[in-house]
């Protein structure tokens, strides 16, 4: 049977390579025999034995350097060599080979080239210049990562809270003077920074602007019961129009089709924050620079201080007693949901994590902080936000397992496994609203990329830290 030209050339190339290797082995073997024969005469039997061991080690090193190796073996050996190199800060140079005409001295293997066991009963043990450990355990790496990348200095947290509180007071005064007819509640700074759930830097604060709605004039309608069919949202419907006609409430100016429109209210406040407030004067008073983010549809203020940079998210909210005390936020939604209010589950999620940890002195919130810091430091995981990670920790946190600090590494790996499983199914249900899939907004390519990075991290967790 004839072979194709390409296959024939490949076969010939492999054959030539094997032949060249055999010839090299034969030549090297002749040199080794010559050295050992002469060494026996000069050094005696004991000296020849030492020389033989060293020479065989050098021969094996040359074989490894000149022959193709299996990919898996290469990866394993390179990991071992890298560990030894990290544990040996001072490397000793390899002595140059002696000429055949000169007396041959025994070779001392260098610690910079760790060898596999030679094909003999005797082994050469590499000597390390220091007794440093080869690697840290995952638990030790997590605790070091938590100390270096998760914990925020107390002074930075205090400064961020002070700036957020001062900005809240300035905005409160502005709303009362600019919109005296609109009953806004007290502006309250909050969010992960205030709940101990902020990782890495004090760079984000939520500033709630609650609306004070008249009792009996408004009712909440689930988003699935509206034309948008969106389980994430709620509609705020105007009621009692036969007794309190339109125009009797100051919020009636924001009605669209009988519902309080979050979009109309957002547009009004966006223009006010971008053009009507004297931010340079306020920033000068507070010792910082305040810039409204005009490019974003959200109400964002960028605060630049000499010691930190802070983003203040101004969130217009409707406290929803009929929605299990969940906040409803004015959020830039698209399509038919544009006038609806997004259900904010952060307060109940943070409260649940705190209650679970208080019950067994657990580390659920520490695990969430670690996951947030990992995704924050890895651009390839940027699509995974705090909301995704919170659902994973909540689902794991309800299980009656060990949540002590000693089990933090095990829980970290378990969280990675749950994330990978969720990405494989393209489904991550919300803990307090299972009809909401938090992965529904991701494209298939984005899910594949996230799954690849997390799977690689599961195989080698230290690569994520």
Tell me the chain's radius of gyration from C-alpha atoms.
34
CB-based contact 351:441 (threshold 8 Å): no
Strand partners, 238: 218
SS3 state of residue 284: helix
pLDDT score, position 43: 52
Burial of 461 (0-12, 13-18, 19+ CB in 10 A): middle
Strand partners, 329: 317, 342
pLDDT score, position 15: 37
Nearest to 52 by CA among 33, 30, 66: 33
Share of the chain above pLDDT 70, in %: 70
152-344 fold = Beta Polymerase; domain 2 (3.30.460)
Q: How confident is the model at residue 380 (pLDDT cuts 50, 70, 90)?
A: very high
**Residue 378, CB half-sphere, CA atoms under 13 Å: how many?**
22
Nearest to 317 by CA among 260, 276, 248: 260
How many CB atoms are closer than 10 A to CB 452? 13
pLDDT beyond 70 at 306? yes
In the chain, CATH 3.30.460.90 sits at 152-344
Model pLDDT for residues 289-303, shown as the tens digit of each residue: 999 999 999 999 999
pLDDT score, position 38: 57
Q: 63-77, 255-269, 360-374, 425-439 — which is least confidently predicted?
A: 63-77
- pTM for this model (two decimals): 0.71
In the chain, CATH 1.10.1410.40 sits at 361-464
Assess if CATH 3.40.50.12280 describes domain 361-464.
no
SS3 state of residue 364: helix
pLDDT beyond 90 at 229? yes
Share of the chain above pLDDT 90, in %: 66
Averaged pLDDT, 275-290: 95
CA-CA-CA-CA dihedral for 20, 25, 28, 29, to nearest 10: -150
Cα separation, 198 vs 17, in Å, equals 58
Cα separation, 153 vs 286, in Å, equals 21
Q: How confident is the model at residue 100 (pLDDT cuts 50, 70, 90)?
A: very low
Q: How confident is the model at residue 33 (pLDDT cuts 50, 70, 90)?
A: low
Residues 6+ apart with CB under 8 A from 57: 107, 109, 115, 118, 124
Q: Which two tokens stand for residue 86?
A: 């990290």
Model pLDDT for residues 430-455, shown as the tens digit of each residue: 999 999 999 999 999 999 999 999 99
């Amino acid at each position: 049977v004839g072979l194709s030209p390409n296959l024939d050339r490949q076969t010939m190339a492999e054959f030539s390579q094997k032949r060249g290797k055999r010839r090299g082995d034969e030549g090297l073997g002749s040199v080794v025999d010559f050295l050992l024969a002469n060494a026996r005469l000069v050094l005696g039997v004991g000296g020849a034995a030492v020389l033989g061991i060293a020479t065989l080690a050098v021969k094996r090193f040359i074989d490894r350097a000149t022959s193709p190796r299996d990919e898996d073996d290469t990866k394993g050996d390179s990991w071992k060599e890298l560990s030894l190199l990290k544990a040996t800060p001072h490397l000793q140079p390899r002595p140059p080979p002696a000429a055949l005409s000169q007396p041959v001295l025994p070779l001392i293997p260098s610690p910079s080239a760790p060898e596999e066991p030679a094909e003999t009963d005797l082994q050469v043990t590499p000597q390390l210049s220091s007794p440093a450990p080869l690697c840290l355990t995952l638990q030790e790496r997590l605790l070091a990562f938590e100390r270096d990348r998760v914990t925020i200095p107390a002074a930075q947290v205090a400064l961020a809270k002070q700036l957020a509180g001062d900005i809240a007071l300035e905005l409160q005064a502005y709303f009362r003077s600019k919109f005296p007819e609109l009953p806004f509640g007290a502006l309250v700074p909050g969010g992960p920074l205030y709940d101990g759930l902020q990782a890495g830097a004090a760079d984000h604060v939520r500033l709630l602007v609650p609306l004070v709605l008249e009792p009996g004039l408004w009712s909440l309608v689930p988003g699935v019961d509206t034309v948008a069919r969106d389980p994430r949202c709620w509609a705020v419907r105007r009621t009692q129009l036969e007794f309190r006609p339109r125009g009797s409430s100051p919020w009636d100016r924001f009605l669209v089709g009988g519902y309080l429109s979050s979009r109309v209210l957002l547009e009004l406040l966006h223009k006010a924050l971008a053009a009507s407030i004297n931010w340079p004067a306020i920033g000068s008073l507070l010792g910082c620079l305040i810039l409204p983010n005009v490019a974003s549809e959200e109400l964002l203020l960028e605060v630049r201080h000499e010691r930190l940079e802070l983003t203040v998210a101004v969130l217009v909210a409707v406290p929803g007693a009929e929605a299990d005390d969940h906040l409803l936020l004015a959020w830039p939604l698209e399509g038919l949901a544009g006038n609806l209010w997004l259900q904010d589950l952060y307060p109940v999620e943070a409260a649940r994590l705190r209650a679970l940890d208080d019950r067994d002195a657990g580390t659920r919130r520490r695990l969430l902080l670690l996951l947030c810091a990992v995704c924050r430091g890895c651009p390839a995981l940027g699509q995974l936000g705090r909301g995704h990670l919170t659902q994973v920790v909540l689902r794991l946190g309800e299980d009656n397992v060990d949540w002590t600090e000693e089990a933090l590494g095990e829980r970290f790996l378990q969280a990675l496994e749950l994330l990978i499983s969720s990405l494989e199914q393209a489904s991550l249900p919300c803990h307090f609203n299972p009809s909401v899939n938090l992965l529904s907004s991701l494209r298939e390519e984005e899910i594949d990329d996230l799954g690849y990075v997390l799977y690689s991290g599961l195989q080698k967790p230290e690569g994520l830290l």
